[in-house]
Amino acid sequence: MWVKIQQNGQVLWQVRKWRDWTWLRHGFSTCSSGNLVDSFDRRLNFSETFSFPLPWVTGQQVHGNRIVQVYETYPERYEGTDGLYTSIQGLMLASFYADCVPLLFVDPVARVVGTAHAGWRGTKKQIGVHMVRSLVESFHSNPDHIEVGIGPSIGPCCFTVSQDVAEFFPRSITSSSEPFKYQLDLWHENFIQLTSAGISKKNIHLADVCTCCSHEFFSYRREKTHNRMAALIGLD
């Protein structure tokens, strides 16, 4: 379960259980913080409000499944990268969204965190599974210890796709009211992919909030916007 935190006129969504972990910083922004992709002033205001220290480590999101481990020395942005993970304290990993699915990862035993950008293309390429494998290979994480937050994103209520997209997700589609169209449930698809990678069902926390339905969020499907929310995670 996720909860909504309000502070100084801005809103942050967080996994309720994770709020008890004082060594972890995480969350998902809303329209109230504005477009956080390319404005230093807005990032600074958001960072000061919710204690997400700058600079943020980001990737050039290309709807792929490339995942990179972040060390103490890192570039301003990792090119061609949709997933980042680290065990370094003080680093804040960030990725940006306007309907795609944000996946936040934390292993409270190994003390490692990650973020993955899972649109339908990244989900098709099983980026969540690749992240789990990376944590296991790099930090010997036990999948049973890894927890995943599936953040606010477009829901099956609003994500209408054509046959050529639907055929990649036979377990996660239902018929649409539109002819030759289908409703795609990326939340369900990522859930079953993560459980197939060994993540316990009880350790997957679904926000169950549709960014296209709610005007609390930017939505590319609803308004073709170039504005983006941020998903962030890091270790104190």
Q: Any idea what the CATH number is for the domain that residue 211 is in?
A: 3.60.140.10
What percent of the chain shows pLDDT beyond 90? Answer: 98
Domain residues for the domain of 195 are: 2-235
pLDDT single digits (tens) 145-163: 999 999 999 999 999 999 9
CB atoms within 10 A of CB 154: 28
Q: Is the pLDDT score of 76 beyond 90?
A: no
Q: How many folded domains does the chain comprise? A: 1
The token pair that represents 219 in the structure block: 């939505």
Q: Is the pLDDT score of 38 beyond 90?
A: no
Q: Give the pairing of strands 10-15 and 2-7.
A: antiparallel
Q: Give the pairing of strands 56-59 and 77-78.
A: parallel
Q: With beta carbons less than 8 A apart as the criterion, state whether 204 and 144 touch.
A: no
What three-state secondary structure class fits 148?
Answer: strand
The model carries a pTM of 0.97
pLDDT single digits (tens) 185-207: 999 999 999 999 999 999 999 99
pLDDT single digits (tens) 121-131: 999 999 999 99
